[in-house]
Amino acid sequence: MSDSRAALRYAKAILDLAVENKAEDALEKDMRNIVETISSSDELREMLASPVIKGTAKKEALVAIFKGSNKVTEGAISMLVDNKRVSMLNEVATKYLILNEKLKGKDVAFVTTAVPLTAALEKKVLSKVAELTGNQVSIENKIDESIIGGFVLRVGDLQYDASIANKLSSLKREFTSSL
């Protein structure tokens, strides 16, 4: 089973628990915190992915980092550690946010750019994505300097890659195949 499918299953289970406990908003806050914290810390990502560090040490670190989180969030972290899937924590949190937004009748558009989006550009992207999907949309802007320029837009299962890195890669493939 791919990690993406497993992450989606965990996210669905967490969302079901959140709905059952009427804690969707608290968990949304926790999951956003998890995504932001893991995305901004190379050391934390390395620790979660490391097969050398024991699960108990990972669990202790995560409990300390995300102290004050909802009980469901703490249980989800424990479950991922116990099932040796803690390396997927960021992906599970991201999938949870997407599922929760869909539950509210909204979509989340993930826009990856080399530099932060300006307010005007964000407004244009929001209106275009809302027009295409027919749903209310919120934007999550991720900065990844490796794409050089342009953007990568992901809404649900759809992805549009207009990055310069992708265009350069296409040119490279074209040149090597024509030799």
Structural domains in the chain plus CATH codes:
3-100 (1.10.520.20), 106-178 (no CATH)
The string of pLDDT tens digits covering residues 133-157 is 788 888 888 888 899 999 999 887 7
Angle ∠(132,136,138) on CA atoms, nearest 5: 100
Mean pLDDT on 99-128: 87
Q: What's the 3-state SS for the chain?
A: CCHHHHHHHHHHHHHHHHHHCCCHHHHHHHHHHHHHHHHHCHHHHHHHHCCCCCHHHHHHHHHHHCCCCCHHHHHHHHHHHHCCCHHHHHHHHHHHHHHHHHHCCEEEEEEEECCCCCHHHHHHHHHHHHHHHCCEEEEEEEECHHHCCCEEEEECCEEEECCHHHHHHHHHHHHHHHC
Angle ∠(63,66,67) on CA atoms, nearest 5: 75
| pLDDT at residue 178 tops 90 | no
Token pair 């989340």 is found at: 108
The string of pLDDT tens digits covering residues 22-51 is 988 899 999 999 999 998 888 999 999 999
Question: Does pTM surpass 0.85?
Answer: no
| pLDDT at residue 2 tops 70 | no
